[in-house]
Structure 1
Amino acid sequence: MNATRTEPRQHCYQRPMDGGYVPAAATTTDHLRAVFAAERERLAAAARPRRKRRQPAAPEVNPQQAQLQLVA
């Protein structure tokens, strides 16, 4: 029964200060440079438009239709 427990339920264990959470191979300069370069590429790809932009349609020329002329 849980009501009889008096000690706290903690799941934290003591780890060494250096390399306890991340292996030392993952903190090398070359590895970090590659990780950040890949992240920059991913962010740049996300910023690009996903679809090709539609070109505006050219106005149809119909000789039977009157054109409005604006005179300044």
Structure 2
Amino acid sequence: MLSIEQLTEEILSLPSALRALLAEKIIESLESDTDPTIQAAWINEAHRRRDEIRNASVQAIPGDEALVQVRRLLEQ
């Protein structure tokens, strides 16, 4: 069996399209380990946030602006 370092070296030598496919497969394998109750709660939360934006009860801000705000908060 390959060590993590050897495996990483092998993976990083693959073309980017194959690395992306492998990353997708790994993420899918992790998602199947998620507790269905937790997964349902996150889906409900995503729908709630989507609906808040659609009905204008919250104002969306650009991602780069959000990151600036988060960094400012972390510096305090």
TM-score norm. by structure 1 comes to 0.34
Q: Is the radius of gyration larger for structure 1 or structure 2? A: 1
Which structure has the highest helix share of the two? 2
